[in-house]
């Protein structure tokens, strides 16, 4: 099953993609992880853009993604998280692969804002926490690996409002392009997972 998880930043799409990928036995492909994990010539190309604060061009992102989707573990399907972000990318993706189902994890703009402001991430293993709703047992320390919890510099109200605006303007139109199913992301994590599996008819 070839799946696409979509949602505004803070919706929990990465968390859900990770959980559902383990349940279905298919890889969770995060474009952020792909860019960070690239090597060889691709890595050099990617770094040349990131080093000067530029976005990685769509053509390069598609090449990185195509390489990943060609690996054997994707034969039975995958969950794509973080791509496409706009209609131009969606049309390019359609040229290389057909998506079976799109899950949109829906939260309000207000909830997205709260989640971003209180979000911290483990610098060692990547585990995420919310200091208000899902705090670690010890402040500043990851429950899983004892790594240091850090906050993104752009997880502030002004930056988040900008990201929310971009999501509504550029990413939401792809939900009309694909056949998407809405899932309420403002529930407990396990309830969101149940709703996703139900939507996938599993």
Which is the catalytic residue, given 85, 137, 182, 191? 85
* Contact (Cβ atoms closer than 8 angstroms) between residue 108 and residue 57: no
Q: What angle do CA 53, 57, 81 make, to 5 degrees?
A: 95
Lay out the sheet containing 128-130: strands in order across.
128-130, 119-122, 149-150
Which is the catalytic residue, given 138, 152, 162, 191? 152
Based on the residue annotation, tell me whether 119 is a catalytic residue of this protein. yes
Residue 118 token pair:
């209180």
Q: Is the dihedral of CA 142, 123, 121, 62 positive or negative?
A: negative
C-alpha–C-alpha distance, residues 27 and 3, integer Å: 10
Which is the catalytic residue, given 2, 101, 163, 182? 163
> First-to-last CA distance in the chain?
11
Based on the residue annotation, tell me whether 163 is a catalytic residue of this protein. yes
Residues forming the active site: 13, 85, 119, 152, 163
């Amino acid at each position: 099953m070839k799946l696409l998880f979509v949602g505004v930043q803070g919706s929990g799409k990465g968390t859900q993609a990770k959980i559902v990928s383990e349940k279905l036995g298919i890889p969770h492909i995060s474009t952020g992880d792909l860019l960070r994990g690239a090597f060889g010539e691709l890595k050099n190309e990617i770094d040349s853009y990131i080093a000067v604060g530029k976005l990685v061009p769509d053509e390069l992102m598609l090449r990185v993604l195509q390489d990943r989707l060609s690996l054997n573990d994707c034969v039975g399907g995958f969950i794509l998280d973080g791509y496409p972000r706009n209609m131009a990318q969606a049309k390019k993706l359609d040229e290389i692969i057909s998506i079976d189902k799109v899950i949109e994890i829906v939260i309000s703009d207000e909830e997205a804002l709260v989640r971003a402001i209180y979000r911290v991430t483990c610098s060692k293993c990547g585990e995420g926490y919310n200091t208000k709703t899902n705090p670690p047992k010890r402040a500043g320390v990851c429950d899983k690996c004892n790594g240091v919890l850090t906050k993104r510099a752009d997880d502030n109200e002004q930056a988040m409002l900008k990201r929310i605006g971009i999501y509504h303007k550029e990413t939401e139109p792809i939900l009309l392009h694909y056949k998407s199913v809405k899932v309420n992301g403002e529930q407990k994590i396990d309830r969101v997972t149940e709703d996703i599996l139900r939507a996938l008819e599993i």
